[in-house]
C-alpha cells in the first residue's frame, strides 16, 4: 500500500517515453494544473500528452491555498463527472504542493478512488509534497484537516520545471531540503551550509538526495505511526505561523518560509532539551536567517499561535506534539516541551537579523 | 487492509462487555446517530457507553439521505474539531446505511483517518452497509460518488436493534438478504422462498448467514476488482430508480425497495442472456412482487433511468455494467446487455401485480 514509485528525468525525451508507456491503454486522462503551471509548465510537456484528443481534459484551478478546500474539491468532482471520468481514468497533478494535495485528495475519493500521478513543478513538491501519499484539503484555516493516505501511482520528477519558478518559491522548497538534512542527513547539512551560494543549480543537484530521505522514511512508516513524524520538524510552529498569516491581510508567507521560521523556534526547543548545543543552534539559525525572511509577532499573536497549535493533527490528548533534533542529522519524535519554553522559542525569532 | 472484524451479540451483557474492552484507553469517543437511532437505539446501549463524562460526545444528524453529502460531512468535521477529536479518538456509527456510510467517510478522512466502529441498527446495515469498508457521500443526486475503501475497526451486530424498526425498513433490508441468496447461496434462497412468513424472526435467523456471504466476497476482493461486483446485482437499475425517485416530489422509495425492483429487471436481463430459465425468472419475480411495493414509470422516465445509469461508478468507457445471474445462487459480473433489452427490462416491471 505505502510503496512509492518515483522516477527522475533529466531529459525531456526520457520523460516523454515514460509518459507514453504510462498513458497507453488508460481511459480518459485529466490534467489538474493551476493558473501558473497551466501557463508555464504545461507547454513544456504538451507534446507528451494526448491533449489534442477527446480523451484528455485540462482542469485548471487558481494558484494559491484559497481553493484548497472541500468546495474546490467539489468543483473538481463535478468536472470529473461532467467529462465522464470512470475508474479507469487517470488524473495527472501538474503543480506544486497545493495541486498535488488537492488533486490527490480528489482522485483518492472520487468514486472511492481513481489512479493519479504527480508531476511536481516546484522544489517543495519535488522533495516533499509529491512523495509519501499524503493528500488533503484545508478546513477553514486548518491545514490539511481532511485527507487520505493514498500513494500516487507514480511520481515523476522533472527538474526542468524549476526554471519557471520565482526565487521565493525556490527558496520555500529549499526549506524542506534543509529540514531533511537536519533531521536525517548530516552530510547533506555540510554540503548546504558550506556552499558559496544557495541557488538553483545547487538545489537541483541535491534534489535526488533530499527526496530519497523522505522516500525511505515513508516506506518504513507510511501511516505516520512513529518515524514519519520526524518529517514534522519545523512544522508544528511553522504550520501555525502559516495559518496566522493567512488570517492577516498580508497573506504573504510561503509554506517553506513558515517552516524555516518554525525550524528556528524548534531548534531553540531542541537546545533547551539538550538535543543540540548552543553553538549548533546558532549555526543553524544564522544560516536560516541568511536565506529566509522574518516576521514580526506581537505578544497577542504568540497566544494565537499557541491556540492554533492546539488543533494540530499531530497532537494527542490536547498536548502539543513536536519533533526535535538531537544533533544535526538526527531527530526524535513525540516531544512535548513546556509551554514556557514554547513561548521563549517564539520570542527567539526576534534574535536574528533577517534580510528585509 | 481489507480484513473485516465482525462480531454478533445475542445478549446485551455480551455487547456491553465487548464495548467495555474496546473503548478502554481510547481518547475521546464520538457517537454518530440519526434522529431515529438517537431516540430508539441509543437508550438500548446508553449504559454501555461512557456517555456521562466529558470524553464522549453525541453527534446527531437528520435521518434520511438528504444530509449524506459533503456539506453534512463538513458539519461533522467541524464538530470533531470543536470537541478536540485527535488521531486517538474513535467514532461509533450508530445507525443504518446512511450513518455508516457518512460516518465511515468522515472518520476515514478526518485528519487523514481516525478509527471507527459500526453499530448497525437496520437489517440493511447489518447484512450489507456495515460490512466491507465502503464509505461514501452523495454528490447531488449521484449516490456515493465520493468515498473511500476503509474497513471499520470492528462491526458489532446486535439484532435487538431491529425490534425498533418499522416494517418497510425491515423489508428494505430483506431485499439485500434476498440478493445475497440469489448471487451466491441457493440454499438460502430455498429457506427464504419456502418460508410461511417473511417476518422479523425469520430475518433475524438468517442474518449471520447473509452477512457471511458478503464478508467472504469482500475478503477475497476488497477493492472491487472482480468478484465483489457480484454484490451489485439489482443495484445498477436499483440505484438509478432510487435516484429517479429522489428527484420526484414523493421521495418514498427505500434503498432495498429500489433494489428489489432492480432485481426484477436484472433477473429479466439474466433470462435474456440465458443465465436463468423463464420458470426461475417467474418464481423470483413473483416472490419479490409478493413482498415489495411497485412503482409506475412512464416512457420519459425510462430514458432518465438510462441517463442516470450512464453515470454509475461501476461503468467503464461509458458502457453500462451489470452483474447478472447464471442460475439461482450463482452470478456473473461485467455483463453489458443490449440497450433494447434494458428498456424491455424496465417495462417488465409492469408485469407484476404488486400489493398497493
Percent of chain A with pLDDT strictly greater than 70 = 95
Judgement on whether residues B139 and B229 belong to the same structural domain of the protein: no
- The pLDDT value recorded for residue B106 is 98
User: What's the domain range around B271?
Assistant: 167-351
Note whether residue A159 is domain-resident. yes
Q: What is the DSSP string of B282-304?
A: HHHHHHHHHHS------HHHHHH
More confident residue, B312 or A151: A151
| Domain C-terminal end among A146, A164, A182 | A164
Q: Do B209 and B339 fall within a single domain?
A: yes
A137: left (phi over 0), alpha (psi -120 to 50) or beta: beta
- Averaged over B216-229, what is the pLDDT? 94
- Does residue B121 surpass a pLDDT of 70? yes
Q: How many CB atoms lie within 10 A of CB A93?
A: 32
| B131 closest CA partner among B180, B63, B73 | B180
Question: CB B86 to CB A318 under 8 A?
Answer: yes
Per-residue pLDDT at B2 exceeds 60: no
Note whether A136 and A181 are same-domain residues. Answer: no
CB B100 within 8 A of CB B144: no
What is residue B297's predicted lDDT score, i.e. its pLDDT?
87
A252 within some domain: yes
Q: Structural domain tally of chain B? A: 2
Say if residue B195 is in the same domain as residue B312: yes
Residues of A in contact with B149 (CB under 8 A): 112-113
pLDDT band at A141 (very low <50, low <70, confident <90, very high): confident
What confidence score (pLDDT) does residue B252 get? 81
Q: Going along chain A, which residue ranges are E strands?
A: 6-8, 29-34, 56-61, 90-95, 115-120, 137-139, 142-146, 154-157, 322-325, 331-335
Of the three residues B148, B164, B180, the one that is the final residue of a domain is B164
Does any domain span residue A1?
no
pLDDT at A53 over 70: no
Residues B75 and B214 in one domain: no
In a domain, A356, yes or no: no
Which one of A148, A164, A180 terminates a domain? A164
Q: B336 in contact with A at a CB cutoff of 8 Å?
A: no
Same domain, A100 and A195: no
Q: Which residues of A touch B223 (CB under 8 A)?
A: 113
Name which of A1, A86, A140 is nearest B315 (Cβ-Cβ).
Answer: A86
Does any domain span residue A174?
A: yes
- pLDDT of residue A71 exceeding 80: yes
B113: domain CATH number is 3.40.50.1970
Q: Compute the distance between CA of residue A354 and CA of residue A291 in angstroms, rounded to an integer.
A: 8
CATH number of the domain bearing residue A274: 1.20.1090.10
Specify which residues B32 forms β-bridges with: B59, B93
Of residues A243 and A305, the one with the higher pLDDT is A305
Same domain, A181 and A330: yes
Write down the pLDDT at residue B355.
59
Q: Residue A103: is its pLDDT beyond 90? A: yes
Strands A142-146 and B154-157: unpaired
Given a contact cutoff of 8 angstroms between Cβ atoms, the answer to whether B206 and B188 are in contact is yes
In a domain, A112, yes or no: yes
Question: CA–CA separation, B245 vs B263, rounded Å?
Answer: 17
- Residues B303 and B186 reside in one and the same domain: yes
CA angle B295, B301, B304 (to 5 degrees): 130
Strands B331-335 and B322-325, how do they pair? antiparallel
Indicate whether B356 belongs to any domain: no
Mean pLDDT of A155-168: 95
pLDDT in tens, B138-194: 998 788 999 999 999 999 999 999 999 999 999 999 999 999 999 999 999 999 999
Kindly report the average pLDDT of chain A as a whole number.
92
Same domain? For A220 and A281 the reply is: yes
Nearest Cβ partner for A88 among B84, B147, B317? B317
Return mean pLDDT, chain B: 92
pLDDT band, very low/low/confident/very high, at B53 (cuts 50, 70, 90): low
Per-residue pLDDT, averaged over A217-228, amounts to: 94
Please name the member of A86, A146, A316 whose beta carbon is closest to the beta carbon of B110.
A146
How far does the CA of residue A275 sit from the closest CA of chain B (Å)? 27
Do A135 and A177 fall into the same domain? no
| Residue B160 sits in the same domain as residue B179 | no
pLDDT of residue A351: 85
All residues of chain B having their beta carbon less than 8 Å from the beta carbon of residue A87 are 313-314, 316
CB contact under 8 A, B149 and A110: no
Residues A130 and A209 in one domain: no
Amino acid at each position: 500500500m505505502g510503496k512509492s514509485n518515483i522516477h527522475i528525468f533529466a531529459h525531456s525525451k526520457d520523460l516523454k517515453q515514460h509518459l507514453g508507456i504510462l498513458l497507453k491503454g488508460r481511459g480518459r486522462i485529466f490534467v489538474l494544473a493551476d493558473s501558473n503551471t497551466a501557463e508555464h509548465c504545461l507547454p513544456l510537456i504538451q507534446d507528451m500528452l494526448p491533449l489534442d484528443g477527446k480523451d484528455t481534459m485540462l482542469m485548471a484551478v487558481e494558484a494559491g491555498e484559497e481553493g484548497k478546500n472541500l468546495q474546490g474539491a467539489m468543483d473538481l468532482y463535478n468536472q470529473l463527472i461532467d467529462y465522464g471520468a470512470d475508474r479507469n481514468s487517470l488524473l495527472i497533478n501538474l503543480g506544486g504542493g497545493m495541486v498535488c494535495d488537492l488533486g490527490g485528495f480528489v482522485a483518492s475519493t472520487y468514486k472511492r478512488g481513481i489512479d493519479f500521478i504527480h508531476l511536481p513543478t516546484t522544489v517543495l513538491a519535488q522533495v516533499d509534497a509529491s512523495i509519501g501519499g499524503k493528500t488533503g484539503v484545508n478546513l477553514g484555516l486548518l491545514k490539511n484537516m481532511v485527507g487520505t493516505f493514498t500513494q500516487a501511482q507514480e511520481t515523476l520528477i522533472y527538474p526542468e520545471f524549476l526554471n519557471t519558478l520565482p526565487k521565493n518559491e525556490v527558496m520555500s522548497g529549499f526549506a524542506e531540503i534543509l529540514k531533511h538534512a537536519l533531521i536525517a542527513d548530516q552530510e547533506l547539512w555540510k554540503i548546504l551550509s558550506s556552499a558559496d551560494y544557495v541557488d538553483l543549480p545547487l538545489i537541483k543537484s541535491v534534489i535526488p538526495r533530499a527526496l530519497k530521505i523522505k522516500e525511505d522514511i515513508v516506506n518504513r512508516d507510511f501511516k505516520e505511526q512513529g518515524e514519519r513524524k520526524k518529517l514534522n520538524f519545523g512544522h508544528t510552529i511553522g504550520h501555525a505561523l502559516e495559518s496566522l498569516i493567512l488570517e492577516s491581510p498580508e497573506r504573504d508567507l510561503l509554506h517553506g518560509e513558515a517552516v524555516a521560521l518554525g525550524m528556528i523556534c524548534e531548534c531553540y526547543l531542541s537546545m533547551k532539551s539538550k538535543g543540540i548545543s548552543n553553538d549548533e543552534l546558532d549555526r543553524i539559525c544564522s544560516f536560516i536567517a541568511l536565506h529566509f525572511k522574518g516576521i514580526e509577532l506581537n505578544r497577542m499573536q504568540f497566544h494565537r499561535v499557541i491556540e492554533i497549535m492546539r488543533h494540530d493533527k499531530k497532537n494527542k490528548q490536547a498536548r502539543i506534539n513536536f519533533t526535535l533534533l538531537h544533533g544535526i542529522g538526527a531527530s526524535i519524535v513525540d516531544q512535548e516541551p513546556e509551554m514556557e519554553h514554547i513561548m521563549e522559542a517564539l520570542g527567539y525569532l526576534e534574535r536574528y537579523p533577517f534580510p528585509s
